[in-house]
Amino acid sequence: MVLDKKETTVAYRCPQCGSWVASIVGVFSLTADMLRLKCPCGESELTIVNTNDKKIRLTVPCFLCPKPHTYTVSSAAFFDKDLFALPCAYSGIDLCLLGKSDAVQQAEEESDRELGQLIEEAGGTNPFGRKGEEDTGVFSDPQILEIVNFVIRDLDEAGEISCRCPEFEGSYTVEVTGDGVVVACEHCKAKKLIPVTSTMSAQAFLNCDHIDLE
């Protein structure tokens, strides 16, 4: 007997740095008392808890309200829908997205456009820019590079980046390319392409525990 692999993508917008934070959550990972989805900036987190009546409670930080919002959804809504949005009760802007990764990523982009328009109408500067104008392709969201640099620095400090240099003697740089980022050693010139081309793939890169440069 083969069990279906139930999982969904959960994403929320960090109220401090403004980036989307996303992760895949499986049905078995929810057997824990609480799951926490933290932003790499360290200033916010979303929590997921199984309730006694087999539902799922999410506590989501809000970038407009001073306190987080709490939502309770059924397991079917959490795992089975292509896209399920949880909006702020006061502004109507989506704070949390659940569903298939492609649908969630598309909804993130639409939410960015809507929020950017609201900021412009209020007389502010749209922090999300305009798609298609001076688009650099890979890092239209600066949080992607921030995540990559965070992981590289963490792996370097732990001695988990290897190149042709003697142990702990490498010096590593990160270069943005059209295909992602290239991690390279300044001394031996060994390098490796990290194919992060979206916030989603950058979040997945957070699970990297070792890099071999060639």
Taking the C-alpha atoms of residue 82 and residue 161, their distance in angstroms, rounded to an integer, is 38
User: What percentage of the chain exceeds 70 in pLDDT?
Assistant: 76
Which of 69-83, 118-132, 138-152, 195-209 has the highest average model confidence (pLDDT)?
69-83
pLDDT of residue 60: 95
Give the confidence band of 124 by pLDDT, cuts at 50, 70, 90. Answer: low
- Decide: 174 and 149 in contact? Cβ < 8 Å: yes
Mean confidence (pLDDT) of the chain: 79
Residue 138 is predicted with a pLDDT of 41
- Give pLDDT, residue 163: 92
What pLDDT is recorded for position 121?
72
**146 or 51: which leads in pLDDT:** 51
Q: What would the mean pLDDT of 74-88 be, rounded to a whole number?
A: 90
Predicted TM-score (pTM) above 0.75: no
The answer to whether residues 8 and 78 touch, using CB atoms and an 8 Å cutoff, is: yes
Q: Are 26 and 37 in contact (CB under 8 A)?
A: no
State how far the Cα of 12 lies from the Cα of 48, in Å rounded to an integer: 12
Residue 132 pLDDT level (bands cut at 50, 70, 90): very low
Q: Give the burial string for 82-95 (b: 16+ CB within 10 Å, else e).
A: ebbbbebeeeebbb
- What is the model's pLDDT at position 39? 87
pLDDT at 146: 64
